[in-house]
């Protein structure tokens, strides 16, 4: 079974109600009732538990600090006061422990049943040992109590899981956005009539009709009609594709003009959109290398701590049973994560806050670590490294015509068309001060082009070369250009010129990629656009370039790069590459991107496009460097402290003081992440 909130596998006996992987998911999963939208009774109860635990833990910390201060040299306190403080500590910590500990002990029970250990086992063992040791200390009248360690560890881990659960569930929203691209109903021919039927009921061979402004419900081949089809949500191309009979259209694409009759090739569950959704689901369910590494570390540390505790008991058994038991418990108390518990999380919290102040949203601490380790930056072209709008880069004139003449006659044909290419030609004419040629009549041919009858009676056509040649004969003495997307213009069957269309690479993208090069990252440009266009953009960026890639091919390319040992960060802005973003080690959605890209990606650049990408990588690398320094210190401390505890030379109160000093050192070092000189 899986968690009812985030989809994580849950092991053990199935509960009567929804199954949750942790307290955080249980809280968030119960907050919204599907029927009423109101918080459920269970969710309110869980939130109350967390709030009460925080209250009791805070009081435990205050009392513990007061008790520690009484242990300082020269400090004196009556025995009755010390007994009262110890009793209050037990009184405040017991409810917090009872409220927060059960999920971790249940996790340890599951781990024991599977013959393995995880972080839950480590937390349960450490917190349980600290609490048990403290209870024994209260009974014995000792001031060496560690109720604060037991409760605060449980509280911080639970609060962290609450935040992580909230971030994980955002991926399911992205899938819903993808699914909504394909319409639930389709207009299908039945018995010679057009009938509206559920899209799921279609079978290959059915003929469906798509009108202007409607989305295509299935993958199919055009049987009749023609139209400009916006496939940007699937291919990433800003330029609508002109689709004619015999060509394939994809489910989820938008018919801009004209009426299409489509022969169904693949039903909804087998469409390209469905395959993208399945790819996103698979990528989200896969565990990251860092998660597997953390599990392996916990699996090794838990038996090590338990073994050292048993060793301490064995070594001190000749001195008495009570002394041996306390020595073993002391080892477990020393092993309980303290500075080690904040060494990395504190750095990550500070780094995530710094990123937020600079307009960058990072979903989790694991994302920050993967960013720091990235070796390759994958980029989409359209809308990511380009400006995301069609423009005319060049006007080519033939047969002695001037560029102004070609532009004036083309603008006359484009006058009544809403096609983005027509708008780009009209915009160029306006900026150039070239008025459209006089015309008597303008006609738009959906999916093909546009035409105009000029005042001198001649006919001007604007559109694809193949369409113009089919109407007026093949062009003679005119070569085919491969430097970019072309729209052709002809008058009475004689070619006048062509317009080279472009979506130019932005200057900020060039500078950002150059900065990442200096940091040692390779760059690769992946696009569904023509290979020649992608190669030209790649040369400007200094990146490897691969064009004419379908969305699923981009995701496969990302996976192949990862299998080669690359740690891939991918920047994109569209739904079409949701699977590729999810397949990368780190997905980065740039400002202006779609909602689905923002939900799937682990990093969202809220403003500034790619300009802040180099700063983001520098922040992640500094955070990793500081976190490693913290870990080095805390691991060295734990190694020394464990050795001293096993040998009986480290009293618990001294260990507590050393832990406090270690924590202060870790906090001071972590604050360096907030420095602005990145």
Question: At how many degrees (to 10) do helices 79-100 and 119-140 cross?
Answer: 150
Q: Round to whole Å and give the CA distance between 550 and 553.
A: 5
DSSP 8-class letter at 528: S
Q: Round to whole Å and give the CA distance between 254 and 528.
A: 17
Residue-wise DSSP of 403-454: HHHHHHHHHHHTTT---HHHHHHHHHHHHHT-PPPPEEEEEEETTTEEEEEE
Look up 380 and say whether it is catalytic: yes
What is the side-by-side strand order in the sheet with 227-230? Answer: 241-243, 227-230, 254-255
Contact present, 100 and 155 (Cβ < 8 Å): yes
Q: Round to whole Å and give the CA distance between 417 and 408.
A: 15
Q: Round to whole Å and give the CA distance between 454 and 530.
A: 34
Q: What is the dihedral of CA 157, 162, 167, 169, to 10 degrees?
A: 130
Q: Round to whole Å and give the CA distance between 624 and 510.
A: 27
Contact present, 587 and 288 (Cβ < 8 Å): no
The sign of the dihedral angle between the CA atoms of 472, 477, 478, 482 is positive
Q: Round to whole Å and give the CA distance between 492 and 473.
A: 10
What is the side-by-side strand order in the sheet with 360-362? Answer: 360-362, 603-605, 586-589, 568-572, 376-380, 522-526, 544-546
Q: Which of these is catalytic: 219, 380, 502, 577?
A: 380
| Residue 295 neighbours by CB under 8 Å, 6+ apart | 118, 119
The sign of the dihedral angle between the CA atoms of 503, 507, 508, 510 is positive
Distance of CA 192 to the CA centre of its chain: 47
- Nearest CA to 464 among 477, 454, 475? 475
DSSP 8-class letter at 362: E
3 state DSSP class of 548: coil
| Cα angle, residue 73 at apex, residues 70 and 75 outer, rounded to 5° | 40
CA distances from 539 to 513, 523, 524, 534, 596 (A): 12, 11, 11, 9, 29
End-to-end Cα, the chain, rounded Å:
45
Specify which residues 454 forms β-bridges with: 439
Contact present, 578 and 301 (Cβ < 8 Å): no
Helices then strands, counting H and E runs in the chain, come out as 24, 22
| Residue 443 neighbours by CB under 8 Å, 6+ apart | 450, 451, 452
Active site residues: 380
């Amino acid at each position: 079974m899986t968690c009812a909130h985030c989809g994580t596998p849950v092991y053990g006996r199935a509960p009567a109600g929804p199954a949750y992987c942790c307290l955080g998911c249980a809280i968030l999963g119960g907050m919204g009732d599907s029927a009423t939208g109101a918080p459920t009774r269970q969710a309110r109860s869980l939130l109350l538990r967390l709030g009460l635990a925080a209250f009791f833990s805070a009081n435990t910390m205050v009392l513990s600090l007061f008790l520690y201060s009484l242990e300082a040299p020269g400090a004196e306190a009556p025995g009755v006061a010390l007994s009262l403080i110890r009793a209050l500590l037990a009184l405040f910590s017991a409810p917090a422990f009872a409220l927060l500990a059960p999920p971790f002990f249940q996790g340890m029970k599951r781990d024991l049943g599977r013959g393995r250990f995880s972080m839950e086992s480590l937390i349960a063992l450490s917190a349980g040992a600290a609490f048990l040791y403290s209870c024994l200390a209260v009974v014995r009248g000792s001031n060496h109590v560690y109720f604060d360690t037991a409760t605060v560890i449980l509280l911080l881990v639970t609060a962290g899981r609450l935040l992580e659960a909230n971030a994980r569930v955002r991926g399911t929203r992205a899938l819903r956005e993808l699914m909504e691209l394909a319409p639930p109903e389709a207009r299908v021919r039945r018995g010679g009539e057009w009938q509206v039927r559920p899209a799921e009921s279609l079978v290959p061979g059915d003929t469906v009709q798509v009108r202007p402004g409607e989305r295509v419900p299935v993958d199919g081949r055009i049987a009749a009609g023609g139209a400009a089809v916006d496939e940007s949500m699937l291919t990433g191309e800003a330029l609508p594709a002109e689709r004619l009979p015999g060509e394939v259209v994809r489910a989820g694409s938008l018919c801009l003009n004209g009426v299409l009759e489509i022969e169904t090739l693949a039903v909804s569950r087998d469409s390209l959109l469905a395959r993208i959704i399945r790819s996103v689901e698979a990528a989200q369910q896969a565990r990251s290398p860092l998660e597997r590494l953390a599990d392996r570390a916990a699996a090794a540390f838990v038996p090590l701590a338990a073994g050292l505790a048993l060793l301490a008991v064995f070594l001190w058994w000749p001195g008495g049973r009570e002394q041996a038991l306390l020595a073993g418990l002391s080892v477990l108390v020393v092993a309980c994560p303290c500075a080690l518990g904040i060494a990395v999380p504190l750095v990550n919290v500070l780094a995530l806050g710094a990123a937020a102040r600079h307009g960058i949203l990072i979903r989790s601490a694991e994302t920050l670590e993967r960013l720091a380790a990235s070796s390759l930056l994958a980029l989409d072209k359209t809308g990511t490294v380009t400006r995301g709008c069609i423009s005319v880069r060049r006007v080519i004139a033939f047969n002695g015509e001037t560029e102004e003449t070609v532009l004036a006659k083309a603008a006359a044909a484009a006058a009544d068309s809403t096609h983005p290419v027509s708008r780009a030609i009209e915009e160029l004419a306006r900026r150039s001060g070239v008025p459209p040629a006089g015309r008597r009549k303008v006609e738009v041919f959906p999916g093909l082009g546009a035409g105009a009858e000029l005042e001198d009676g001649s006919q001007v056509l604007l559109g694809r070369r193949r369409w113009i040649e089919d109407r007026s004969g093949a062009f003679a003495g005119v070569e085919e250009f491969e430097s970019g997307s072309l729209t052709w213009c002809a008058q009475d069957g004689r070619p006048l010129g062509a317009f080279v269309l472009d979506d130019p690479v932005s200057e900020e993208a060039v500078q950002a990629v150059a900065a990442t090069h200096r940091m040692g990252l390779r760059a690769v440009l992946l696009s569904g656009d023509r290979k020649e266009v992608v190669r030209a953009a790649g040369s400007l960026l200094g990146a490897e370039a691969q064009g004419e890639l379908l969305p699923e091919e981009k995701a496969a390319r990302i996976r192949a790069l990862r299998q080669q040992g690359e740690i891939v960060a991918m920047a994109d802005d569209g739904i079409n590459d949701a699977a590729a973003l999810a397949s990368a080690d780190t997905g980065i959605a740039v400002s202006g991107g779609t909602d689905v890209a923002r939900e799937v990606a682990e990093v969202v650049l809220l403003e500034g496009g790619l300009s802040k990408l180099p700063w983001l990588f520098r922040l992640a690398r500094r955070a990793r460097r500081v976190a490693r320094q913290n870990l080095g210190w805390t691991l060295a401390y734990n190694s020394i402290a464990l050795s001293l505890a096993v040998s009986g030379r480290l009293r618990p109160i001294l260990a507590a003081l050393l832990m406090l000093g270690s924590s202060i050192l870790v906090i001071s070092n972590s604050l360096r992440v907030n420095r602005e000189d990145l």
